[in-house]
Structure 1
């Protein structure tokens, strides 16, 4: 075979690229099949790698699921933090953070629904991983409320933080069955909710929900 007709050699993936591919495929399979029904054989086949390689990278199916969750936690934090960093007003900080949250969850809706609707199928360590993500988002929300509701007592800030985290999860889960509801729609519902509940402490906020001009 001449050099003109020889097939180009496929570029070898770096370890980081291969790991990212495995996590992408695993999240897809977990979302489609559920954790228990998902098989390492199928994940390996879709990735084009051997099953032993999956075990070499992640140790077990539990380890693979936890790696998916750890990556999502880090990416969610980065997405919401970056979105809020570009805001210039109190209302915009909350708005941008909410939109970023609902956009991210929408992009990972299958795996998110799996975690919320089938917790008993998850490995025991997954419950703590979910709580770690909640604590991460609670920290972001509480910091926003302390700055923009400076007159609110700390117990009120902490209580509303927990309310907001729980409400965001339920609203995001509801959206998985209502794709016509956009991330902006969900963010508007949440900012309305926050403005009504914290109204006495947020008198300087605009009265129109959504981003400021």
Structure 2
């Protein structure tokens, strides 16, 4: 099997195991078993469980980053931009992969390196939202950043809560409710000419 294909196979197996058991409950033995490879093959690609987890985390954050970036850049109409950005959180969390659990529910959030990676990811997108807010209003950068964090947090927390009640409230309806709530708040800050 080509190296890139093998790596994808190992990351898929690791995803299954880490989502099911968390970092601490996962073992390289189980990951190798799920991937149907020997442990030496697994170790040829990843020196240890931590490196494998980081590679998987980076893969999921890159995927989610692409969705968020597309939403932020999808329009210059801020009401539609708010809706698209919040919808991106819901769409990512609604995926069957449960990759969001690695980003938002990791049992390594208190770990300096991994928690730092996740915080940098969250800060980057709160900053992107803040940039748009700052461009359109006369808010100071610190105020815009606070609003960006609040909006990203609202999207993330509500989508994570929604995933357990998806049978009761369809995704489109749930993300629309939260988008309307967010827009009622942020829409009160007028655009500067």
Report the TM-score, using the length of structure 1 for normalisation.
0.76
**Is 2:91 the counterpart of 1:91?**
no
Instruction: Please state whether the residue corresponding to 2:166 is helix, strand or coil.
Output: coil
Residue 141 of structure 2 is matched in structure 1 by 154
In structure 2, the CA distance between the partners of 1:59 and 1:46, relative to structure 1 (3 Å rule), is same
Deviation at 1:192, TM superposition (A): 2.0
Equivalent in 152, 155, 174 of residue 165 of structure 1: 152
| Superposition RMSD in Å | 2.6
Deviation at 1:166, TM superposition (A): 2.1
Deviation at 1:87, TM superposition (A): 2.6
CA distance in 2, matches of 1:35, 1:64: 10
Larger radius of gyration: 1
Equivalent in 182, 191, 195 of residue 183 of structure 2: 195
**Count of residue pairs brought into register by the alignment:** 191
In structure 2, the CA distance between the partners of 1:143 and 1:49, relative to structure 1 (3 Å rule), is same
Residues 115 and 122 in structure 1, CA contact (< 8 A), matched pair in contact too: no
Equivalent in 70, 73, 89 of residue 82 of structure 1: 70
Which structure is higher in helix share? 2
Residue 39 of structure 1 is matched in structure 2 by 27
Instruction: Please state whether the residue corresponding to 1:59 is helix, strand or coil.
Output: coil
Residues 79 and 100 in structure 1, CA contact (< 8 A), matched pair in contact too: yes
Residues 94 and 144 in structure 1, CA contact (< 8 A), matched pair in contact too: no
Report the TM-score, using the length of structure 2 for normalisation.
0.83
Residues 72 and 85 in structure 2, CA contact (< 8 A), matched pair in contact too: yes
Structure 2 unpaired stretches of 5+ = none
- Structure 1 stretches of 4+ with a deviation exceeding 6 A read none
1:60-86 per-residue CA deviation (whole Å, 9 max, x = no partner) reads 111111111111111111112123433
